[in-house]
Structure 1
């Protein structure tokens, strides 16, 4: 979709109007008797940074595994926030992440300002293994950060790096969740997979990690970590959609484990950087057949409890 377009792409690539899709999304959560949705995995970042991310997807960079990945919601910031509100998303995040030293503190400053002017955004911060990381993590916590983002794949770092140890300790002590992209999808990195995260949790068992994308494609390994550590959660970002099922299908034998962890699974979408309509993620969850109460918990209640909403 060209920059500035106001529609969205359906699962088959068809463009639908924002109003039509908003109605579809609202009907979904109203059927469940919910007051709306809470999406813990949405991306807002400085516009020039976000446009570089979009360029990377357009160019099918290595971390996209060479996949064709059209950005469905390639709109200005105020249009994207307005669309989430039309969808009935009560709270969302500004997931952002550094890919080199010296970026995280600057990104955190931008995110704090975004949260101040966007009251339905959960104040988000980030981190990177570098000298001073504990200091700026504590600064962000002091400024009211409610969720952090860590991206092991893009940052190309070991989450068990000694430089991060005091930062993880501070986050565990504060009880602030960290959404962490640590699975090896869509393309593996040197430090992706369950091993490095398991080492972090062995040191900080109370750390509230939210494993992004259900840890794709190492789904079952990350389910195991959630079963072992009661503060570990998982988000649904892109999982079960037609796009992902063709590439990294979730094993049906593991659905019963996912059902049992229903109080620790959170809705995530990757909005706006998704190659299909937002509503498709919701219908993909619904068609799992795990029941109304599981859907209610995943799409709203679990995050409402975690963030005190």
Structure 2
């Protein structure tokens, strides 16, 4: 089972910062065997430092638990000077298997032309992108209304122009789940993850019977393109309740295994490992 772990702060001054051991400690606490650590920049000029920090954290975790225990997602601010070079430097680190972007934090529409160089660089290097491009949660604290920044139609445009791009939209694209499930049928390199969809943070958006049935149908129809995700511990919530929520969907064992393990291993480029993946 893989899990997302965010770091939202400026990069530390030292790669020996004790934060580097957080992925290791969380793995021991939760029982998860695969972890994705990620960063995202909210202003220009900090991406390189964040990316080095992210790669070092993943390397530290792998040194303790073996290759394939942890991978990192680098970041870049769309439109910042030298964005392509920032990514190429990040991709030189073997621990970095993709990029994390966030429309709300970085104040960018996914189909903004300044994102194109990021998409093209990822395609060139065979890297994936995790892009928070769903409208929820919308907050008055955002620099721009997320309903203006985000729409499934923007992602549709991106995939039409970059069909080779491996792109994942977290939170099942909340609150446009049905529209995103429909896109999965058209674009084989588009993925969704389930982060926070059953927690006490975003879960209230998906707690109706009709939404649950929509989610179940979507998973069964696109079982190779949907994976488990979590914002724990960046956003504190009831992690095990979130995991156990999938019991009520009565998914076939092979589909559940894809959801909890295989799809994330494929999308994030985890190395082959003989370690048993925990199903909590």
TM-score (norm. length: structure 2)? 0.80
Q: SS state of the match for residue 6, structure 2? A: coil
- Asked if the contact 1:134–1:164 (Cα under 8 Å) also holds between the matched residues in 2, the reply is no
Aligned 8 A contact 2:199 2:239 in 1: no
Deviation at 1:270, TM superposition (A): 0.6
Instruction: Identify the residue that residue 292 of structure 1 maps to in structure 2.
Output: 253
1:169 is matched with which residue: 111, 116, 120?
120
Alpha carbons of structure 1 residues 272 and 245: separation in structure 2 relative to 1, 3 Å: closer
Q: Which 4+ residue blocks in structure 1 deviate beyond 4 angstroms?
A: none
Query: What does the per-residue CA deviation read over 1:216-258, in whole Å, with 9 as the maximum and x for residues that have no partner?
Result: 1111121122221101111110113354332354724422122
CA distance in 2, matches of 1:80, 1:111: 10
Q: How many residues align?
A: 247
Task: Please give the alpha-carbon distance, in whole angstroms, between the structure 2 residues aligned to 1:210 and 1:235.
Answer: 7
Q: CA deviation at 1:164?
A: 2.3
Cα pair distance change 1:124/1:242, threshold 3 Å: closer
Which residue of the partner structure matches residue 38 of structure 1? Answer: 2
Distance in 2, Cα, partners of 1:146 & 1:294? 24
Q: Cα 1:79–1:137, aligned 2, differ >3 Å: closer, same or farther? A: closer
- Which structure exhibits the higher relative contact order, with contacts defined as CA atoms closer than 8 Å and separated by 6 or more residues? 1
Unpaired segments ≥5 residues, structure 1: 1-36, 51-74
SS at match of 1:43: strand
> How far did residue 49 of structure 1 move?
6.9
* Equivalent in 84, 88, 102 of residue 45 of structure 2: 102
Asked if 1:148 corresponds to 2:99, the answer is: yes
Please give the alpha-carbon distance, in whole angstroms, between the structure 2 residues aligned to 1:147 and 1:85. 24
Counterpart of 2:227 in structure 1 is 266
Residues of 1 paired with 2:23 and 2:97: CA distance?
Answer: 21
Q: 2:278 aligns to what?
A: none
Match of 2:75 in 1: 126
8 Å Cα contact 2:152/2:179 also seen in 1:
yes
Provide the secondary structure at the position in 1 that maps to 2:196. coil
